[in-house]
Chains A and B, each alone.
Chain A
């Protein structure tokens, strides 16, 4: 408990009639890089603003380093934000922007200029002191915004889709830099994004949000490999979802019977009753398409609909008898399959994950 830096307890927030946050709990250890992942409108920005003090929750408490800060003004919280559009002060040069919080603290000039210089070195913008924000590129503004937020040595740094406005290449580069920066500073990062790849690349933990609630909180591997719900499976890794009836076949395995054929999946300790309706998530890269018969008579009968390449990845879309589509993907090489071919959709039992168990039970 001692190294918990931030704790959210039962936070609720509504704007007018719209319930934005539905009682969220979160505990963040010191030095962690945690990402709030979710589509726009899921409440992630509101969560961040509540932590920053820019919004007051209707119910619930916010604890920062063990202290209840729920009713504290934003300027009294040891938390800083990197805003989505950077929010650099347009009438101040880079130096003045970064020195803003230090000047408010009435720190002496020499210390300020030393700190500013260090911060600029850290974000690799040495020599840009006198530039105005409108003379900087998007990536440079981004760095200034980060430098401005860290000179104050916040206990927690909040980042609201900081890479959203950058182009793809720069985004990848900044992902690595941000991660390094976080390691080096040892500051707790709470990072917001709707980009699952970004979340998987950077985070120690990911909190997947949906409709003002956390759907699943876990390490990237946990969230990616063992999604708890179909929503998480779809949002993180855009997995295939296959529904059917379960039958225990022993050795911790379940046979999933669908209209198009059976598949195997591991229970991973979950108690499943025979005849129970379940949904299984299978990631695209785990799906294998087989022509002809399989040895074990497993596999869902499907028809190839289309093939396409997307960034060096071959995607084959097949449709089941009820018209639902499944996607199989793999690196590079072309496949002899063509539209109209009949195939069997298979996967290894370990690669299927039974989701939505709580909701079903």
Chain B
């Protein structure tokens, strides 16, 4: 969700950013190019800027005793986050997101990289295989994991059947189950991100590296990996950010044992009815992820995260 919104914003910045003279701007108000971008402005204002401003404003207001909010300014929502119990939630979320992202990268990078090396026919087939699950609701697919993970479920049956384990593993409602669910949900995004940058990789560059004395591994590191790094990093962003907020995976596969920022926000909003606190949590989460993105860009030196950020 987050990334969808971000994808729209650079276009807006580009069309509206430059200062220009008054007369020219008046004339340009009516030319076709200007009019054609009006829908983008309207859409962005209504669905991106509006909700964001609303959320930030909300986070500084007080919660009403019965329903809704009081129009009184307060820092309380933010100081509330500093309580150990909430800080721990943030820490746990970051930890799980890092874990998830690491595994997703380990699985998704080679997958996407080798997929880009397939023939056109096989590329299409693989793409289709990756797309088919998206035709079903992600919620329903998660329930599938319950069947696999639960005691005496599919996984237990298989493992006990071939004699690897003696007793049911009781995997459901554990941390591992949540991690597996997260990886399952997010790995396609990594694959697509890596695939799209590996597809653009000019194979002749690898041959040039080999020709100049590089072993296959050296050629991979110095050329292929380096040139697909933007894809990997945008995959990381695409994985890391949602995994901070995918509350329903923690809900369904983790029972109530794993509480993440996403769960906390959902709880505060839907159950506790503390909208200002939920808004404050969201703002902090957003700032955190923005810092992450800035860090990735800084560390990697890659400016172009495949047009994502």
Contact = CB atoms under 8 A, between A and B. Distances in A.
Q: Do A and B bind each other?
A: yes
Q: How large is the interface on B (under 10, 10 to 19, 20 to 34, 35 or more residues)?
A: 10 to 19
Nearest to B210: A74
A26 interface: no
B209 A100 contact: yes
Given A83-B204, A87-B202, A89-B205, A104 B227 contact: no
Contacts of A104: 212-214, 218
Contacts of B213: 75, 101, 104-105, 152
A316 B223 CA distance: 54
B226 A91 contact: yes
Interface string A32-60: 00000000000000000000111000000
B204 A85 contact: yes
B210 A54 contact: yes
Contact of A87 (B205, B214, B218): B205
B210 A87 contact: no
Interface in A175-204: none
A54 B207 contact: yes
B165 to A, nearest CB: 45
Interface residues of A, number: 22
A89 B202 CA distance: 10
Interface in B176-222: 202, 204-205, 207-215, 218, 222
A255 interface: no
Contacts of A91: 226-227
Contacts of A149: 212
A87 B226 contact: no
A258 B238 CA distance: 77
A54 B211 CA distance: 8
Interface in B59-94: none
B194 to A, nearest CB: 17
B227 to A, nearest CB: 6
A73 interface: yes
B301 to A, nearest CB: 10
A52 B208 contact: no
B211 A81 contact: yes
A91 B221 CA distance: 13
Contacts of A312: none
A87 B227 contact: no
Contacts of A148: 212
A87 B227 CA distance: 13
Given A81-B208, A81-B211, A89-B222, 17 more contacts: A54-B210, A73-B210, A74-B207, A74-B210, A75-B210, A85-B204, A87-B202, A87-B204, A87-B205, A87-B208, A89-B223, A91-B226, A100-B209, A101-B212, A101-B213, A105-B213, A152-B212
Interface of A: 52-54, 73-75, 79-81, 83, 85, 87, 89-91, 100-101, 104-105, 148-149, 152
18 contacts: A54-B210, A73-B210, A74-B210, A74-B211, A75-B210, A75-B214, A83-B208, A85-B202, A87-B207, A87-B208, A89-B208, A89-B223, A100-B214, A101-B213, A104-B214, A105-B213, A149-B212, A152-B212
